[in-house]
Chains A and B, each alone.
Chain A
Amino acid sequence: MTAASAPAAPRPAVARRGAGSAVLGSGRLLRLELRHNAMLWLLPVAFALFWYNGYREIMALPPMWNLRAMTLQNRLLLDLVIPVTGAAAWMGSREGRRGITDLVAGTARPRWSRQLATWAATTAWAEVGCLACVAVVYVMTARQVSWGGPLWWPAAVSAAGVPALTAIGFAAGAWFPGRFVTPLVTVVVFFGLAFGTQAASGDHSYWQISPLTAGAFDIGAAPGVASFYPYLPDLSIAQLMFTAGLTIAVLGALGISVARMRWLAALITVAGLAAAGTAVALAGTGRLDPHGMIVIPALHDAASDQPVRYTPACGHTPIPICVHPAYATFLPAVTSVVGPELTELAGLPGAPARISQVAEVYRQEPANGITILAGVRSGSTFILPDRVPGQPGVNSAQFASQVGLTLGLGLARDVILGGNGQATAQSPSQAELAVIAGSVGFTPRADDPAAQSLFDGRLLPVPGSPAALAGRRFAALPAAAKHAWLMQHLAALQAGRISLAQLP
Chain B
Amino acid sequence: MTAVAVRLVCLHAASRRLPAAVALLALCAAGLRGTLYGHWDDYGALQLPLIFEAACAAIIAVTAGSPFGEPERATGRWLPYLRLGTAVTLTGLASGALAAAGTGMPLAGGFPDILRNVAGLTGIGLLCATVLGGPLAWTGPLAYLVLAVYGLYTDWHPPALSTPWIWPARPPHDVGGALCAAVVFAAGLAAITLRGARERPGGDGPG
Residues of A at under 8 Å CB distance from B? Answer: 36-38, 40-42, 45, 48-49, 52-53, 78-79, 81-83, 86-87, 90-91, 94, 97-98, 178-180, 182-184, 186-187, 190-191, 194-195, 198, 392-393
Contacts and interface: CB of A to CB of B under 8 A. Distances in A.
B24 interface: yes
B58 A187 contact: yes
Contacts of B108: none
Contacts of A48: 143
A184 B55 contact: yes
Contacts of B41: 198
B12 interface: no
Interface in B109-137: 134-136
Contacts of B134: 179
The B contact surface, by secondary structure, is helix
Interface in B12-65: 17, 20-21, 24, 38, 40-41, 44, 47-48, 51, 54-55, 58-59, 62, 65
B149 interface: yes
A98 B142 contact: no
Contacts of B150: 52-53
Contacts of A42: 139
B157 interface: yes
Contact of A183 (B17, B44, B59): B59
Contact of B205 (A78, A81, A90, A392): A90
A179 B62 contact: yes
Nearest to B47: A194
A49 B147 CA distance: 7
B99 to A, nearest CB: 19
B48 to A, nearest CB: 7
A48 B141 CA distance: 15
A187 B207 contact: no
A179 B65 contact: yes
Nearest to B52: A187
Interface string B180-207: 0000000000000000000000011111
B48 A41 contact: no
Nearest to B154: A392
20 contacts: A41-B206, A53-B146, A53-B147, A82-B143, A86-B138, A86-B142, A90-B207, A98-B203, A179-B65, A180-B17, A180-B24, A180-B62, A182-B135, A183-B58, A187-B55, A187-B58, A187-B145, A190-B146, A198-B38, A393-B157
A94 B203 CA distance: 10
Contacts of A81: 146
Nearest to B125: A183
B156 interface: yes
B157 A52 contact: no
Contacts of B157: 392-393
B158 interface: yes
B197 to A, nearest CB: 12
B91 to A, nearest CB: 16
Contacts of B149: 194
Interface residues of B, number: 39
B44 A97 contact: no
B138 A186 contact: yes
A133 to B, nearest CB: 14
B146 A49 contact: yes
Contacts of B48: 195
Given A53-B150, A182-B138, A190-B51, A393 B158 contact: yes
A495 B150 CA distance: 58
Given A53-B147, A183-B59, A45 B139 contact: yes
A38 B204 contact: no
Given A179-B17, A183-B55, A83 B143 contact: yes
B44 A195 contact: yes
Nearest to A191: B51
A40 B149 CA distance: 25
Question: Closest 7 CB pairs between A and B?
Answer: A392-B157, A183-B138, A183-B58, A38-B207, A53-B150, A187-B55, A38-B206
Contact of A180 (B20, B143, B147): B20
Contacts of B141: 183
A37 B204 contact: no
Contacts of A393: 156-158
Contacts of A191: 51
A52 B207 contact: no
Residue of B38, B41, B142, B154 most packed against chain A (CB within 10 A): B142
Contacts of B59: 180, 183-184
Nearest to B55: A187
A209 B13 CA distance: 44
A86 B154 CA distance: 25
B55 A79 contact: no
A90 B62 CA distance: 13
A194 B54 CA distance: 14
Nearest to B204: A97
Best-buried of A78, A179, A180 by chain B (most CB within 10 Å): A179
B142 A94 contact: no
A393 B139 CA distance: 31
A367 to B, nearest CB: 12
Nearest to A195: B44
A489 B8 CA distance: 99
A82 B205 contact: no
B143 A94 contact: no
A82 B146 contact: yes
Contacts of A38: 205-207
Contact of A97 (B40, B47, B51, B135): B135
A201 B114 CA distance: 31
Contacts of A91: 207
Given A179-B134, A392-B158, 10 more contacts: A49-B147, A52-B150, A53-B146, A90-B205, A180-B17, A183-B141, A184-B55, A186-B138, A195-B40, A198-B38
A94 B158 contact: no
